[in-house]
């Protein structure tokens, strides 16, 4: 098992950890392990993709529910800049 030393811990954080450990009947070290394990092994929900985030920004805009026109099924034509 790995070890972790935390320096410069605020006194009030240490005191809260001590009280919490006492309430649960464990050592401060065990309580710290429990807190870290619960927080760091928690499954976080997947963040939506960029398109979904953009769509969510505009979902409350009036008359925004019309579908976009489809592009014609044509081959891609590259822009000509030499003209």
Question: Which residues fall within 8 angstroms of residue 32, CB to CB, at 6 or more apart?
Answer: 17
Contact 24, 31 (CB under 8 A): yes
| pLDDT band, residue 76 (cuts 50/70/90) | confident
Q: Whole-angstrom Cα distance, residue 79 to residue 23?
A: 71
Place of tokens 């489809």: 70
Domain ranges of the chain: 11-57
For 52-79, what is the mean pLDDT? 83
Of 17 and 55, more confident: 17
DSSP 43: P
């Amino acid at each position: 098992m790995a070890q972790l030393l935390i320096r410069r811990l605020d006194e009030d954080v240490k005191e809260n950890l001590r009280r919490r450990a006492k309430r649960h009947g464990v050592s401060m070290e065990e309580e710290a392990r429990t807190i870290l394990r619960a927080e760091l092994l928690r499954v976080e929900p997947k963040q939506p993709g960029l398109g979904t985030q953009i769509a969510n920004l505009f979902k409350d805009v009036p008359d925004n529910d019309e579908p976009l026109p489809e592009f014609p099924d044509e081959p891609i034509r590259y822009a000509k800049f030499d003209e």
